[in-house]
Structure 1
Amino acid sequence: MASAPNSTNASDAKPSDSDPTPSGWMDRVVNTRLETWRRWWRVAVLETVDQEAVIEKRREEAYTSPRYLFMLAMSAGIAILGLLLSSPAVVIGAMLIAPLMGPIIGAGFALAIGDYSWLRGSAVALAAGTVLGVALTALIVFVSPLQTVTPEIAARTQPNLFDLAVAVFSALAGAYSMIRGREGTIVGVAIATALMPPLGVVGFGLATANWTVFSGALLLYVTNLMTIALVATIMARIYGFSARLSEKQTRWQTALIIAVFVGLAVPLFFSLRQIVWETNAARIIRTTVLDEAGSDARLSHIEFDLDADPVTVSATVLTPNPRSSAEQDSEAALASRLHRPIDLTLTQFRVGTGAEAEAIELLRAREDSQRALSEESRSLAERMALIAGVDPGEVTVDAEARRAVVRAARIPGAGMATYRALETRIQDASPDWTVRIEPPLLALPTIPFDGQDLTAAGRDALNLVAWAASRRGQPVSLTGGSSETRAIAAQLLEEAGIASVPVVGGPVMQAGWADELEDDAAPPS
């Protein structure tokens, strides 16, 4: 029997709010929960943010100003010195005063609300700060005798996805703090962590014409800059700052942000994959060589170059049972596991087990240590010779005692204080060494007194006299002043281990050498 024309098939009926099916009930629960969350977010979060006040404050800090440029220059100078000295503490000090948070977060907020005049101002501030930072750091590196790629510098030349994550978390902290009115120095440090050290390394690479360092640090800097700005844009939109944008502008922004993040993530992903591959390859090389050398073998020394084609490996093992096929088997196993051609050189030393093998390993370790110490000694001698104005061969280096001494040449216009400052500088750069610079025989300074008391300048002058006398190993004379002031000065010098010869006469005390000054001695500094 045919159905009525106006009858409706049950399967074509639209679900109603009273739909008893599990899917209909689940939809109602989800919609209710979402609506409840949206209501809570609007009332408890969005309506508690004074958007106008936040925008106004962000504008004030987003533009170029003399204070901004000065503080950025000081931060860049401190950062590059910390990188050259490989001192994390100094690098952190640079981050504490870096003023980059204002313009970079400002750029993110400007993009979120579509204020392109503000965005241009922030971009100009960032560009000016970047150029100033790179130029200043490059100048400092160019005139510095220290131009070695330190671990602090090397750490910023191969960016990867983890660096992107650092920038994301820094931006989240910065944007949230600014929206909620809780910004401060610590949040600024989070932003500067991602920007100031890479900026300094860019300047280092430019000054030393090391384009590998330059390009790697520049990629890291640009990645962090773009990431922080775009994450700030996302946070601003989440907190309702994009209400002024049309739906078309919002879609355009979303597409732009996604495209930039994908563009940044792709090279960083490949960089991270390369780092992971190199780490695993190093582990595979060590374990494979040991496995093929035998269970009783010990790895004494290994070097490899993963960038070479074929990969070159040089290894030395200590074993009681050398195997003639160990090199061939290890090379084949490595080629199979790394999927790369391998050029392996394996040296096997027959040793007994236990104490004998340990003794040989200890001897090899000492040889490696001596080799490293010799290289360190050579580098220190070159730096001291450069500062002292002499040939490296004139620097006396005792590697075992970690002591280096040089007799400095006369520098036009330099006084004793200059040579002491040079010694302090090289000592700070080599804290594990005892560094001594022997100054030329220059005139010593006057020692001012206030009545019978040493002034601050007088105490500094006595300290300088004591330093010069100790470096030259000569006694000094004290001419002028009263008997009481000469006695005070002589006692202070004696406490420093310096012999002095008081000489009566004159109202002003003048320090000099107990022997006659050279005819060409410089005037007092």
Structure 2
Amino acid sequence: MEQAERVASWVYSPIGRAIAPIRGWWQRDVRDSIDQQAVIAKIASESPATPRYIFMTTMSAGIAILGLLLSSPAVVIGAMLLSPLMNPILGVGFALASGKQKWLRISAKSLAIGSIVAVGFSALIVLVSPLQTVTEEIASRTRPNIFDLMVALFSSLAGSYAMIRGREGTIVGVAIATALMPPLAVVGFGLATLNWTVFGGALALYVTNFLTIALTATVMARLYGFRTTLSSRQGWFQSIGIFVVFVALAIPLFLSLRQIVTETNGTRIARTAITAAFPPKARISSLEIDWDSSPVGITATVLTPEFRSGANASVTAEVERQLGENANVSIDQFRVGANPGAAEQAELARARAAEQEAATERQIATMTSELALVAGVGKEDVTIDRSNRRAMVTARPLDGLTLSGYRALEQRISASVAGWSVQLRPPLVALPDIPVEDGKVPDSATDQLHLLEWAARRTGTPVSLAGPEAPVAALAERLRSRGSIVVIEPDGPSNRIVTSWTVAE
């Protein structure tokens, strides 16, 4: 009775009478026009973890992590087109709203399986990839803030509305995947590289987005009047719980946003101070700020037509005045011509040099991985001489692999890294015998001679020769002229030169 009286007092209050037409329109033209059974059946049927769901999640995660490693937004978007995570996460939201425990368990299990598969497959790709650096695309998903919560909120609103109104499609799936698949791939990256800062930041972003999307879907389902087994009391507790979760998520994310805003403002202050300290035609080529150091570390490169000896001091004083904290400013000045395009040309040249350096590092990483793989050793066992552009590794014995096989592996890697000298030191496996015809080595033995010379140079181990005197002497002279140590044995066959290492194989 008391509850009925409270409802009646609300309905006949001024506010209740004012919104009555809106409530009537919503109930009559919006809620009643929805086939709730069809919507629930569709979402519920697509919530379980089917083989198709697992396969598409795996492929989406693979494309996402490759796009993140390549720092390619287009590839990351391609991964979102495949992601099937929308269905189970909306299933969680609608199951919460309707109070269906079995549906909730199925959807939560499906989402958990998809998340584990995505993280695991992403980590596997990173482990076998030569690219394991934190790119800009990866870094952008390690510091969640209030804007990320808003992205997840709007994505869930769009996804829930589309499902309820029967207008779901690829674009809506992309909206949901935007908030879920890239963070999951970054979690896998952090796990594979043991970078717990990246792992923790991306996991926080994923949990934030997951909770926001699921709870927003719950609110939308209740707003559209989906039937529920929850009592009025349970419904109120659920509403309060959703509100508390949103507040609990929003507070740390808002603080994170404040920190980002502070850093952005500090970067603007530093850039303005540096610009003011140099002539108008000067250009800031690079600017990096270390906010974790004390004092704040500011490093910049400036292309200027004239040097300013007091630039560090003046910029430091201005930055400290505006930031209100100590700063350590270091500015590298590069003098360029005074003509209008000189600074731009110098900056372009620096950008090209930086791009070339990055490309060289990627080339070195790939070459190191390939050499370690074919040699059967770890990457740390590969020696890289950057100044002479030379890579060296000592191979372990591999069953069934001959000297010609090791030389072929070296040649294959050398062909893939132009401008580098690749040297693979083979194990002391059997050397080729050199045939002798009419008292000399025939032209048909050229490949055996080249293989013998290559092995002797790579190992630096003395070679023993036994056979006819004249051909042995000629071959010994040939090897010695190429820096090899040769030992001539007194006895040997007459139709070939027997070659061997002077140490035990």
TM over 0.5: yes
Residues of 2 paired with 1:287 and 1:80: CA distance? Answer: 37
Compared CA separation, residues 161 and 330, structure 1 to 2 (3 A): same
Compared CA separation, residues 383 and 323, structure 1 to 2 (3 A): closer
Contact kept in structure 1, 2:290 and 2:297, CA below 8 Å: yes
Structure 1 residue 221: Cα displacement: 0.8
Residues of 1 paired with 2:36 and 2:400: CA distance? Answer: 60
Which moved further from structure 2: 317-326 or 134-143?
317-326
Matched, 1:381 2:364: yes
Structure 1 residue 324: Cα displacement: 6.3
Contact kept in structure 1, 2:320 and 2:327, CA below 8 Å: yes
2:45 to 40, 60, 83: 60
Compared CA separation, residues 341 and 397, structure 1 to 2 (3 A): same
Residues of 1 paired with 2:418 and 2:344: CA distance? Answer: 30
Structure 1 residue 65: Cα displacement: 2.5
- Fraction of identical pairs, as percent: 51
Structure 1 residue 345: Cα displacement: 3.2
What residue number does 1:262 align with? 247
Compared CA separation, residues 283 and 379, structure 1 to 2 (3 A): same
TM-score in terms of structure 1 length: 0.65
Contact kept in structure 1, 2:131 and 2:365, CA below 8 Å: no
Matched, 1:214 2:199: yes
What stretches of structure 2 of length at least 5 have no aligned partner? 1-12, 376-381, 425-505
Compared CA separation, residues 347 and 435, structure 1 to 2 (3 A): closer
Structure 1 residue 53: Cα displacement: 2.2
Matched, 1:88 2:50: no
What residue number does 2:271 align with? 286
2:329 to 323, 344, 349: 344
What residue number does 1:139 align with? 124
Residues of 1 paired with 2:240 and 2:194: CA distance? Answer: 38
What residue number does 1:168 align with? 153
Compared CA separation, residues 297 and 129, structure 1 to 2 (3 A): closer
Residues of 2 paired with 1:434 and 1:43: CA distance? Answer: 73
Superposed CA offset, 1:414-467 (max 9, x none): 9x9xx99xx99x99xxxxx999999x9xxxxxxxxxxxxxxxxxxxxxxxxxxx
Superposed CA offset, 1:273-321 (max 9, x none): 1221111111101212333457786656544322211012234657788
CA-atom RMSD, angstroms? Answer: 4.0
Residues of 2 paired with 1:110 and 1:350: CA distance? Answer: 66
Structure 1 residue 63: Cα displacement: 2.1
What residue number does 2:103 align with? 118
Residues of 2 paired with 1:223 and 1:126: CA distance? Answer: 15
Compared CA separation, residues 411 and 378, structure 1 to 2 (3 A): farther
Structure 1 residue 375: Cα displacement: 4.1
The aligned length equals: 396
Contact kept in structure 2, 1:315 and 1:347, CA below 8 Å: yes
TM-score in terms of structure 2 length: 0.68
Residues of 2 paired with 1:360 and 1:88: CA distance? Answer: 30
Compared CA separation, residues 326 and 385, structure 1 to 2 (3 A): closer
What residue number does 2:179 align with? 194
What stretches of structure 1 of length at least 5 have no aligned partner? 1-26, 399-403, 428-432, 441-525
Superposed CA offset, 1:95-126 (max 9, x none): 22222111110110111111122212211111
Question: Quick one: which amino acid aligns to residue 71 of structure 1?
Answer: M
What residue number does 1:366 align with? 349
Compared CA separation, residues 189 and 413, structure 1 to 2 (3 A): farther
Residues of 1 paired with 2:120 and 2:188: CA distance? Answer: 7
